[in-house]
Amino acid sequence: QRCLAKTPDDRFPDFQVMRELLRERYMQETGSPAPQPAKGDKLDSRDLNNKGVNLQTLGCPPEELLSYYERALEMDPSNATAWSNRGNTLSHLARLQDALASYEHALEMDPDYYRAWFNKGLQYSKLGRDLEALDCFDRAIEIRIHDEGMWFMKGNTLYKLGRIQDALICYERALEVNPQLGPGWAGKGLVLADLEQPDDALI
């Protein structure tokens, strides 16, 4: 009942508190000490990385997430996914140069890791280094051509560089992959307005 309480404050703050209550209740009911908790295998690098990802989904603070990725990398410095996730977390902490370094490590481990190329491009874009961002998005698209996010971000970068027609092509490619991509339609409309095609932009 307490675990399922509607209000979070009415639930157990963590499992240790719950286990202590269960231990006391066990002793009351049986008169014997409660069994020791079961112990599973020690988490390896992949497990720690996955735990970080799951905790991120649950809204865990970036500082705590970072500790899981760094522990994963201490165990296995060749874990490209952990390097990339570490970069994402550093980016959320506004440590953009450190994030870039993490993505570069990920790509050293796996040069075809399209997500690391994409995230590296995002960091370059945040730093105003649009030509380098464009190169990263191109590399990501070479590896994973049917990804609307890659095409959309390439379109945004081309638009910032003043390459309007090329940006339009990228937004259209993104929308071919996912016709429900709202930002893709918005980007295409903006480009069409700049090209003095207001009727098409409205549509």
Long-range contacts of 165-170 (CB under 8 A, 24+ apart): 165/195, 167/191, 168/192, 168/195
**Encoded tokens for 193:** 């307005």
Residue in the block written with tokens 């990804």: 147
What's the whole-model pTM score?
0.76
DSSP annotation of 145 reads: -
Q: Is the pLDDT confidence value at 203 over 70?
A: no
Whether residue 201 is predicted with pLDDT greater than 80 in this model: the reply is no
DSSP symbol at 9: G
Whole-angstrom distance, CA of residue 202 vs CA of residue 104: 41
- Which residues, 6 or more positions from 127, have their beta carbon under 8 angstroms from its beta carbon? 96
Q: 5-28 pLDDT, tens per residue? A: 888 888 988 888 898 999 999 999
Which pLDDT score is estimated for 199? 66
The percent of residues above 90 in pLDDT, for the chain, comes to 76
Cα dihedral: 154, 157, 161, 163 (round 10): 30
The alpha carbon dihedral of 50, 55, 59, 60 has a sign of negative
Q: Is the pLDDT of residue 40 over 80?
A: no
Type of residue at 168: L
Tens of pLDDT, residues 68-91: 999 999 999 999 999 999 999 999
